[in-house]
Amino acid sequence: MIHSDDRVPVRFGAATDAGPDEAVLIEGDAPAPNRPAVARFALRTRLAAHPLGCGCCTPRGPVAEALARLFLARARGEVPWFCSVVAVTIGAPGRDAVHAALQGDVVTAARFRLEP
């Protein structure tokens, strides 16, 4: 039995590595390529959460929020249809945040997957 995975693949690379049918996710304020499908995220030093930390009140992380903006823009036709995302991170914390969003945020994990 063949199973297809329709989630959008995410890979790590440089903004200049992005092909014409790829979106770009950029950490911080690094220069962005001249293309419509670009989203940025900034790592937070502290997340504000409900005192009990319940799942309904815990805010989504910055990577999950940025990927959600890209996904919704694609679905609404606000940006050209992209087939994958190039994640541009500054260092290990940014890379870890992308991994965490793809593994720990239920909505993000339903829409995106890490490309092997």
Tell me the chain's radius of gyration from C-alpha atoms.
14
- Please report whether residue 3 resides in a domain: no
Q: How many folded domains does the chain comprise? A: 1
What the block records as the tokens of 1 is 């039995």
Beta-carbon contacts of 109 under 8 Å, excluding residues fewer than 6 positions away, are 7, 102, 103
Residue 107 lies in a domain: yes
- Convert the pLDDT of each residue in 53-111 to its tens digit: 555 556 789 999 999 999 999 999 999 999 999 999 999 999 999 999 999 999 999 99
Identify residue 16 by its one-letter amino acid code.
T
Distance of CA 56 to the CA centre of its chain: 21
Identify the domain containing residue 67 by its residue range.
8-114
Structure tokens at 21: 């049918």
pLDDT of residue 31: 84
| 2 falls within a domain | no
Residue 79 domain-assigned? yes
Within a domain: residue 46? yes
| 19-51 tens-digit pLDDT | 999 999 999 998 888 888 999 999 976 555 555
Task: Please check whether residue 23 lies inside any domain of the structure.
Answer: yes
- pLDDT score of 58: 60
Q: What is the pLDDT of residues 2-21, one digit of tens each?
A: 567 899 999 999 999 899 99
Inter-residue contact 87 to 13 (CB < 8 Å): yes
Q: Tell me the C-alpha distance between 71 and 41, whole Å.
A: 14
pLDDT of residue 12: 97
Residue 1 placed within a domain: no
Mean pLDDT of the chain: 88
Domain assignment of residue 91, yes or no: yes
